[in-house]
Amino acid sequence: MKKTLLIYCLLWGICCSAIAQNSCTNQRYLKAIFPNSQFLPNKVYSKAAPDMLLSLAGVETTQDTDLLLDIRFPPNSDTLTKRPAMVWGHGGGFLYIWGLDNTLVIGSKDNQDIQAIIDTFARRGFVCVSIQYRRGVNPLDATSAKRAVWRGAQDMNAAIRYIRTNATALGIDPNYIFVGGSSAGAFAALHSTYIDPNEKFTAANAQYNLFGGEIAADLGDMNSRPIERITSLAPYQTTTINATNVNSLPTCLFSCWGAIDELSMLSGQRRCPTYLYHGGSDVVVYPNCNEPFAGLIILPEFCGSIAMSPVLNNLGIAHDLHIAEGQPHEYWGALNGEWISGQPDEDFLTIIDDISNHAYEAMRPATPSINGSALACGESIQTYSVPNLPENGAYYCWQVENGTIVAQTSNSISVLWNNVNGNGTVYCRLVTQNVVESHAAVLNVTITQVPSMLNISNITANSIVLSWSPLSVAAVTLQYRPAGSNFWNTIVVNGGSWELSNLDPCTIYEIQLSANCGSSNVSTSITKFISTAPIYLQAKVFLEGVFDLTNNTLRKNLLLQGVLPLSQPYNVAPWNYAGTESVGTSLDNFPANTVDWVLLELRSASNWNSVVERRAALLLTNGEVVDVDGNAVRWCDISANTNYKVVIRHRNHLAAMSGGVWNSGNPTLIDFTTQTPEAPPSCIVKNGFYLLRAGDINANGIINYTDYNLYRAAPTINHTYHAADCNMNATTSSTDFDTFVGNLKAIAPLVLRY
């Protein structure tokens, strides 16, 4: 009993060279990730192969032999169903003497080094195979040696086709099948890989003696060996198929101290990444072109790794050449496949790790490209994306430094960056269905610290003072706009405070404070809504046309008749007021005691001709003038603590100006019903109250024949909102004439006329 299993267990705890830090896959295939492997020995992969028993005087004697292989799987705990596979051929010089298998003389699939290889790689996640290929060579016959290589290559070819054909049953991904060999096994792997199906050794043809008698049968084409298709794995049952059309080209080839018959064989149609390992002082299989075994026996010349490397290079075939200077044949510590000291030496692990890395690179998917901004503000959320997943079972593995992943889809993440002045990093690896990860895509992100607190003070009708902390090392971007607007006002600020001026009173502003990160996609750190201080005006007025002498109130016939316009009516001549005051889409939105729309003006107390601001408002039955929301009228473009003259207009009554001034800093009621107006002729007194005179139908500030003409031209119609309706009962009739006839020749002050 060999000490093979003990030796393999020693290998499990030793790690290979690591890939990028923070692997997403626990470095499967690059280090041992399982404590053991499953062993399935002596399974037939090709039946009735003519195996040479004896070669005497060039005459070959053969017998049909079933070709066997051993399979090493990861343990049952492995849930992956599509794993890469490795097919390995043992050393031994193609020699065979019955009864001397597994000795220092004769090599077989049970060689310690090959068994160690397949166990080691199975623990790393591969499905691994050690094949028994046909042996038998006359060491004194060059032709016999070439025929032995051909038979071994045919068997390696058959083993690869067997693996691909039975990939599903064995849990293998047929796209990733690697082939390797030690010494004679490497010969078989090289020739199986590079010889085109339409090429053949001359020695592989039928051989004849001088008398024309056949002394050796034709060995057939490279892929002529039939293989076994698995119908049941437990118990192992198969059927024989030809499978000549199954692809036999491996993903990569690993040649350990192997050689090829002719360098020209590398230049055929088949291409395969090839990795060559050889001792610089190997005299069993020379690294250059020479006869194996130092000329001690009669063998043809073969060309080793050093000779093959420049040819592969000239052909553009990916390859690496590893020459261990001063080292002999099988320099990983073996002699004809058996450990010299009972265990492998350090070169064994070096080669195994190197093979792992090469196999991994052959399977490694392309590095994804990360899309997203390389500039970010602290406490902002940025989205980063990569292309859609290329296959089912694949996924993206993300990692972030100086931030937190707060949302993720199949190909994107949202990152909340830490609020620091520094660097952040986004890493992304594509992990395939085989659990192979790409190199990490790296996006370095510059993070700018943003304020985390925004304070608002000194709110006036036209200005707000803003302050924030902590102070960013960079400028901040201050944006503000009236709520609902599509356009931002933007200011770049250095420091920790700023006064926003020239604002509109009574307006809700949306304020955003962001780090000025130098990106068009700056993320906002703080958003607040604040209303500037309103200035309210309380006013009261009576209109003669709707004044009820019985109870000293105003009639609301226009509302009751449903003719009041929903929006202010002063957007036409002579007023041309462009205000947007409106109650919405329904008469129900009017206050229940609404009489009509009026137009208020604030004028400079020092220059009565200067109109500072106008507002359309609603007149109620008690004489109050209110905003469309029923509250006192708000003013947006006036100064605080300033004196104004107040003017009130109606569409068919004379306008009036307040006799006194109204101070916006200490507003008081402007009562046109009791306070003497600036020009009393604008008003008429009834029941002790001042009333605006009715009858100014053309609203020019003078009641005369032109108004009468407009009245005469007005149609007699009910349910109308018409300037000639002087008594405002929603009907133009003779009663309107009765309303304004007494005011003929009445005039408003010149400053109020149009």
Pick the CATH number of 535-752 from 2.60.40.4130, 3.20.20.450, 2.40.50.1020, 1.10.510.10: 2.60.40.4130
Q: How high is the pLDDT of residue 233?
A: 93
Does residue 4 register a pLDDT over 70? no
Domain range list for the chain: 4-16+37-363, 375-448, 453-531, 535-752
Both structure tokens of 479? 């944006």
Average pLDDT, the chain: 91
Q: DSSP labels for 240-253? A: EE--TTS----SEE
Q: How many CB atoms lie within 10 A of CB 576?
A: 10
Tell me the C-alpha to C-alpha distance, in Å, between residue 403 and each of 371, 386, 469: 17, 18, 21
State pLDDT tens for residues 480-493. 999 999 999 999 88
Same fold, 453-531 and 535-752: yes
Predicted pLDDT at 453: 85
HSE of 118, CA atoms in CB hemisphere, 13 A: 31
CA distance 1 to 5: 10
The closest alpha carbon to 435, from 35, 25, 73, belongs to: 25
What superfamily in CATH does domain 375-448 come from?
Immunoglobulins (2.60.40.10)
Residue 667 burial (CB < 10 Å; 0-12/13-18/19+)? middle
Asked if 623 contacts 541 with a C-beta cutoff of 8 angstroms, the reply is yes
Say what percent of the chain tops pLDDT 70.
Answer: 94
Question: 3-class SS at 617?
Answer: strand
Q: Are 88 and 131 in contact (CB under 8 A)?
A: yes
The CATH code of domain 4-16+37-363 reads 3.40.50.1820
Round to whole Å and give the CA distance between 237 and 737.
116
Residue 473: pLDDT above 70?
Answer: no
CA distances from 570 to 177, 582, 614, 652 (A): 86, 12, 11, 12
Domain 453-531 has CATH 3.40.50.880: no
Helix (H, G, I), strand (E, B) or coil at 153: helix
pLDDT digits (tens, 9 = 90+) for 351-409: 999 999 999 999 999 999 999 999 888 888 899 999 999 999 999 999 999 999 999 99
pLDDT for residue 104: 66
Whose CA is closest to 114, among 176, 179, 182?
Answer: 182
Task: Calculate Rg over the CA atoms of the chain.
Answer: 49
pLDDT at 5: 30
| End-to-end CA gap in the chain | 122
Assess contact for 417 and 377: CB atoms under 8 A. Answer: yes
CA-wise closest residue to 419 among 470, 377, 375, 469: 377
In this structure, the chain runs to a length of 754
Q: Are 339 and 112 in contact (CB under 8 A)?
A: yes
Residue 198 has pLDDT above 80, yes or no: no
Residue 561 has pLDDT above 70, yes or no: yes
262 close to 304: Cβ distance less than 8 angstroms: no
pLDDT reading at 577 higher than 70: yes
- Return d(Cα 659, Cα 671) in angstroms, integer: 10
In the predicted structure, residue 17 carries a pLDDT above the cut 70: no
Residue 49 has a pLDDT of 96
Q: Give the tens place of pLDDT for each residue, 176-187.
A: 999 999 999 999
* β 302-303/381-385 pair status: unpaired
Q: Scanning the structure block, which residue is given the tokens 């997203």?
A: 372
The answer to whether residues 345 and 9 touch, using CB atoms and an 8 Å cutoff, is no
Residue 1: predicted pLDDT: 28
Q: By C-alpha distance, which of 187, 405, 173 is closest to 285? A: 187
Residue-level pLDDT at 295: 65
Strands 338-339 and 334-335: antiparallel
Ramachandran region, residue 74 (left: φ > 0; alpha: ψ -120 to 50; beta: rest): beta
Instruction: Give pLDDT tens digits for 655-708.
Output: 999 999 999 877 889 999 998 888 888 899 999 999 999 999 999 999 999 999
Angle between helices 184-194 and 142-165 (to 10 degrees): 70
Nearest to 706 by CA among 683, 732, 740, 729: 740
- Asked, as a colleague might, if the bond just before 292 is cis with ω within 30 of 0, I would say no
CA dihedral of 181, 73, 175, 177, whole degrees rounded to 10: 0
pLDDT, tens digit (0-9, with 9 covering 90-100), for 101-137? 666 668 999 999 999 999 999 999 999 999 999 999 8
Question: What's residue 102's pLDDT?
Answer: 62
